[in-house]
Amino acid sequence: MRVGPICCCLMLSPALGACANGGSSSTSSLPTPVGVIDDSAPAPGGPLHVVFYPRVGSLVDDEWGAAGPGVVLMNGGLEPASAFPWMHDTVDRERIAGDVVVLSTRGGDIYSGTIYAAAQFNSVQTVLVPPEAPGSDIDLVVTRLGTAEIVFLSDGVAAEYAGWAKTPLGDAVHDVYNRGGVVAGSGAGAAALGWAVLTTPTDSATALANPYAPSITLTQGPFALPLMVGTYVDLDLETNDRFGVLAAMTARAVAEGLVGIASIPPMGVGLDVNAALAFDRQGIVTLLASDSAPGAAWIVHGGAVSQIASGQPLLWPAAQVTRFDTATESLTLAADCGTAFSYDVAIDGAAATPFTPADPYEAQGTATPCTL
């Protein structure tokens, strides 16, 4: 479907929706989405109103509820494909289930059909929500989310999602979680699910030397999901050497009170290419399988930060790091145990080699399996 200039909020009639049966639950590689998002351009031409694209699948809402909640963080795109059966099974693994609403702030309808084919969902619909959309349009999106079991935040610009904090739209996403649903994000959408969100670009050298550098803006996350309490999420971690950003922003988020509960330890979540972490309702974090090159993820948590101040380098003598690099590796957050490997990294933002051991991504570690 090609969308021309939009002059009003487009509400779809049933005739525009697809009427296919539930999709396959296969975890094979997803087909490449049709179309390209140009993230330098906002919504289609014309006034920037909300656009409801055609609903794929059943036009009748799934009224059976969801058995979650759960959260999925994906590094980018729609990989790994196994993320979508996990979302479906968290809603209900026994039947065609779950109405998925894909939210984006720019681009077009490139995800719905691919997501629908990835698992036995009841329906999938993409809703474009430009930052300048009027309140009357946002009310319609809130209503649509009222019957969703899964929300998927597509990649885009984290700052635009952060603008949903303390708004009816942010509250509506939170309500999906509260009803036992799944909230998932990819790329910037994943970053926006943290309790603290980086809204300006930076690099590890800058962040380690001064976590409060004027070029860095860290703000409250828009959704306050309980499974994400205390988190900061970063992307392309090893690929772009962003471990310093992950550590500095995690420490700063706690120092500024952005994590919501002062007594909890900081928790930075770093994802790399093809990686997805799933957080289930019991607080167990699992690396999902990838159909292409395996992805890796890291969680930085525990250990007291000795220096986090404006104009000063970060000092974190023993940051505990948990690395996930094999599918199904897990960490139970409350008990700090699991099959993923953990190790300590000393961080000195003023040193020529800021990390000890020097490679924080591949250091030797040990697993502490949980006992019954």
In a shared domain, residues 164 and 201: no
Token look-up 């570690």 returns 365
Q: Which domain holds residue 309?
A: 194-271+296-360
Give pLDDT, residue 26: 39
Q: Answer yes or no: is pLDDT of 218 > 90.
A: yes
Q: Answer yes or no: is pLDDT of 143 > 70.
A: yes
In a domain, 31, yes or no: no
243: closest CA among 304, 164, 306, 298?
298
Residue predicted with more confidence, 19 or 315? 315
Read off the CATH number of the domain in which 172 is found.
Answer: 3.40.50
Give pLDDT, residue 44: 46
Give pLDDT, residue 253: 85
What are the DSSP calls for 21-57, one per residue?
Answer: -------SPPPPPSS---TTS-SSSSS---EEPPPEE
Q: Answer yes or no: is pLDDT of 27 > 80.
A: no
Distant-in-sequence, close-in-space partners of 13: CB < 8 Å, separation ≥ 6: none
In a shared domain, residues 122 and 169: yes
Give pLDDT, residue 360: 96
In a domain, 151, yes or no: yes
Each residue of 342-371: pLDDT tens digit? Answer: 999 999 999 999 999 999 999 989 999 998
Give pLDDT, residue 266: 73
Give pLDDT, residue 9: 38
Band of the pLDDT at 32, cuts 50, 70, 90?
A: very low
CA atoms in the 13 A half-sphere facing the CB of 170: 19
In a domain, 219, yes or no: yes
Give pLDDT, residue 263: 54
Give pLDDT, residue 303: 81
In a shared domain, residues 100 and 233: no
In a shared domain, residues 44 and 182: yes
In a shared domain, residues 241 and 207: yes
Each residue of 161-194: pLDDT tens digit? Answer: 999 999 999 999 999 999 999 999 999 999 999 9
In a shared domain, residues 114 and 211: no
The mean pLDDT of the chain is 87
In a domain, 289, yes or no: no
In a shared domain, residues 183 and 114: yes
Q: Answer yes or no: is pLDDT of 124 > 90.
A: yes
Contact 281, 262 (CB under 8 A): no
In a domain, 55, yes or no: yes
Percent of the chain beyond pLDDT 90?
77
In a shared domain, residues 211 and 335: yes
CA 7 to chain centre: 31
Q: What is the mean pLDDT of residues 112-122?
A: 97
Band of the pLDDT at 6, cuts 50, 70, 90?
A: very low
Q: Answer yes or no: is pLDDT of 2 > 80.
A: no
Final residue before a domain boundary, out of 153, 175, 191: 191
In a shared domain, residues 246 and 163: no
Interatomic CA distance for residues 73 and 75, integer angstroms: 7
Give pLDDT, residue 353: 96
Give pLDDT, residue 281: 95
In a shared domain, residues 152 and 45: yes
Final residue before a domain boundary, out of 162, 191, 220: 191
Q: Answer yes or no: is pLDDT of 136 > 70.
A: yes
In a shared domain, residues 178 and 135: yes
Q: How many domains does the chain have?
A: 2
Q: Answer yes or no: is pLDDT of 275 > 70.
A: yes
Give pLDDT, residue 46: 52
Q: Answer yes or no: is pLDDT of 210 > 50.
A: yes
Residue predicted with more confidence, 294 or 35? 294
